[in-house]
Amino acid sequence: MTVRRAALAAALLSIALPRFGGDALAADARLRVLIVVDASDDPFAERIKAEVSSLGLEVVAVEPWRTGETVESLDAAGRANNASAAIRMIPSRKGVEVWMANQPTGRSLLRQLIVDERAGAPNEGLVALQTAELLRTTLLSHSEALSPSASATATRNAQTPAQPPQQPPPPPSPPSAGVQAAVGALYSPGNHDPAIQAWLTVNRIVVRPFGLALDISAPLRASTVRGPEGSATVGALLVGVSAFAHYDRPGSGLYATAAVGAGGIRVSSEGTASDPFVASKQSALAGAIYARGDGGFEVTRWLRFGLRAVAGAVPAGVSVKFAGNEAAVWGRPFLAGMLLVDVAW
C-alpha cells in the first residue's frame, strides 16, 4: 500500500508541475509590458514607463536605436518578449500605439492609438496617463495573476480623484499705512545758518494711490539770526495735515510720494543782546502752507530709505526783532532737505 501511494503521488506531481509552471509563466506574461524606445534620451517614453510601472507591471524596453533591429510588428515584438501589451510612439510623435494580447492565448485582443492632435507639441503627460488608464481598465481587469500590491496600486489609482492644479498664491497686497521719520536742514532766508530739523509723518492710503497724513516737525538745533543789537536762536514747530499721492514702480523697488498740506507753525526766538540792550524771548503762532516730496527705494516690503524735500511759506511771515527793530522775517519762504526712513504695513 505504501508503494502504491508513493507511485500515485509521483504521478500527480508530474502532472501538476507543468501546469503550475505554465501558470507562473502566464502570470509573468500578464504582468509584462513592452515599450519600444526610439532614442537614447526620450522623455516621452520615460514618462509612459513611469505611469505603467506605477500600476505594478513589469516594463521591458526594446531599443532599436541601440540594437539596430527594426520593430516591424508591435504584436510580434510583444509575443517574442512574453508581454501582455506593447507600446510604441507613432511616427508623428503626436501619441502612441498600444497592442494587447488576450489571456492566456496570446492572441491580439486590442490595438488602439492614443493621439493628441492639438496644435504644437502634444501633451505628453496626458497621453501617458491615458495609456496607463487603458492598460488598467483593459489588461488588469482581465488578469487573475495580479499581486496584492499591484491590485492595491491599481485600485488606488482608480479611486483617487484627479487633483485640480494648484493656483499660485496671490501676491501680498501693497502697504496701506506707514510712518516716516526724517532728519535734515531747514532754512529760511534772513537766517544766517539753517536749523537741524526732525520731521515725523503718519499716513494712510484712503483710495489708492491717494491718502491723508499728519505731519509734525520740531527743531533739533535752532537757526541763528545776527544783527548790530545782538543775535537770536530761532526754532520752528510745525503741525499740519496733508493730502498725498503715492506711486510704486513694481520690479525696481523704487517709489515716490507727493503731498500738499497746511497747518500751524510756532516760531520762537531767544536773543543775546549787545550792550546796552537787554536780551529777550518771543514767540509767534501763524498759519503755514507747504508741499513735500519723497523718493527712495524699498529694502524689504515694510522698510524703505529715501530723501525728502519740503518747500513752504508762512504768508504773513514771523518778524524777529532786536530792540524794537526788525532783524529778520522768518518763513517767507522756508525750505528743507532731509534723509528719510519709511516703515510701512
| Helix ranges (DSSP H) in the chain | 2-30, 43-53, 64-67, 74-80, 124-134, 148-159
Q: Which of 155, 190, 216 is the last residue of a domain?
A: 155
pLDDT value of residue 210:
96
Residue 184 lies in a domain: yes
Residue 134, domain extent: 26-155
Q: Which three cell numbers stand for residue 198?
A: 526732525
**Are 141 and 82 contained in the same domain?**
yes
pLDDT over threshold 60, residue 100 = yes
**Are 60 and 202 contained in the same domain?**
no
What are the beta bridge partners of residue 184? 197, 338
219: Cα separation from own chain's centroid: 44
The three-class DSSP label of residue 286 is strand
Residue 220 lies in a domain: yes
Q: Grade residue 278 by pLDDT with cuts at 50, 70 and 90.
A: low
**Are 201 and 335 contained in the same domain?**
yes
Lowest mean pLDDT, pick from 4-13, 224-233, 313-322: 4-13
Q: Which three cell numbers stand for residue 153?
A: 496600486
Residue 200 lies in a domain: yes
Whether the predicted model's global pTM rises above the 0.85 cut: no
Residue 103 lies in a domain: yes
**Are 203 and 303 contained in the same domain?**
yes
* Average pLDDT for 67-85: 84
Identity of residue 23? D
Total number of domains constituting the chain: 2
Lowest mean pLDDT, pick from 8-22, 52-66, 71-85, 125-139: 8-22
**Are 111 and 149 contained in the same domain?**
yes
Residue 335 lies in a domain: yes
Q: Radius of gyration of the chain from Cα atoms?
A: 44
**Are 144 and 34 contained in the same domain?**
yes
35: Cα separation from own chain's centroid: 39
Q: What angle (nearest 5°) sits at the alpha carbon of residue 73, between those of residues 69 and 79?
A: 95
In tens, the pLDDT along 29-63 reads 456 898 988 887 788 888 888 888 888 888 888 88
* Average pLDDT for 313-322: 82
Residue 5 lies in a domain: no
pLDDT value of residue 10:
40
Q: Note whether 131 and 125 are within 8 A (CB).
A: no
Q: Which residue has the higher pLDDT, 246 or 145?
A: 246
Residue 14 lies in a domain: no
% residues pLDDT > 70 (the chain): 73
pLDDT value of residue 233:
85
**Are 221 and 323 contained in the same domain?**
yes
For residue 269, what is the domain's CATH number? 2.40.160.20
Q: Which residue has the higher pLDDT, 270 or 197?
A: 197
Residue 1 lies in a domain: no
For residue 50, what is the domain's CATH number? 3.40.50.800
Q: Which of 155, 188, 207 is the last residue of a domain?
A: 155
**Are 323 and 196 contained in the same domain?**
yes
**Are 283 and 334 contained in the same domain?**
yes
**Are 186 and 116 contained in the same domain?**
no
**Are 130 and 212 contained in the same domain?**
no
**Are 113 and 200 contained in the same domain?**
no
Q: Grade residue 159 by pLDDT with cuts at 50, 70 and 90.
A: low
Contacts of 244 (CB under 8 A, 6+ apart): 203, 210, 211, 212, 213, 257, 258, 259, 260
Length of the chain: 345
